[in-house]
Amino acid sequence: MAQGPAFVQGGIGDRSGRLRETVAATAVRRLAAILTSDVTGYSRLMGADEEGTLNRLKAHHRELVDPKIRKHLGRIVKTTGDGMLVEFGSVVDAVRCAVEVQRAMVDRNAASPRKSALGSASGLISATS
C-alpha cells in the first residue's frame, strides 16, 4: 500500500492510520502554462519516408523549436515521438513561443515539397499545482 501524508484524528498520519509527529508545512503552489504540440500528418509522413521524416523532425526541433522554448523560458516536460509537453511560468510566454514557432514553420515549409512539409497543432493549458 502506498504511504503518504493523510489527515487523521488530531494530527498527520500515514495511510495505515499510525500518527506521526505533526510538522508545520507550507504548501507551495505555482501557476504553470502547459503547451502541447503534435506534428499533423506524422503517421502519413512516416509511412511515406520514415528516415527523411525523422531527420526533418530532429532538425526542426534542434534549429527552431528548442531555441524558441529556451528563449521563452520554457521547460520540456515530456516528448512522445512527434508530440511534446512544455511547461512555462507564464501564459504569455507559452503563447508567444507557440506563435513564433507556427510563423517560422510557414517559412521553413515554403522551401519543402508539400508532401514532406511538417505541420504542427498546439494547445495551451493553464494550471496550478
Backbone phi and psi for residue 12, each to the nearest 5 degrees, phi listed first: -105, 135
Q: What is the mean pLDDT of residues 48-64?
A: 90
Q: Which helix (H) or strand (E) holds 96?
A: helix 91-110
Nearest residue to 56 (alpha-carbon basis) of 42, 35, 72? 42
C-alpha span between 129 and 27 (Å, rounded): 10
Q: Of 27, 101, 38, which is closest to residue 69 (Cα–Cα)?
A: 101
> Quick one: fold of 31-128?
Alpha-Beta Plaits (3.30.70)
pLDDT(127) > 80: no
Residues 57, 40: Cα–Cα separation, whole Å: 12
79 pLDDT above the threshold of 60: yes
User: Does pLDDT of 103 surpass 80?
Assistant: yes
In this structure, are residues 122 and 102 in contact, taking their beta carbons and an 8 Å threshold?
A: yes
Give mean pLDDT, residues 12-33.
65
Instruction: Report the residue count for the chain.
Output: 129
Closest CA to 53 of 115, 105, 97: 115
How confident is the model over 58-73, as a mean pLDDT? Answer: 94
Vertex 93: Cα angle to 81 and 127 (nearest 5)? 75
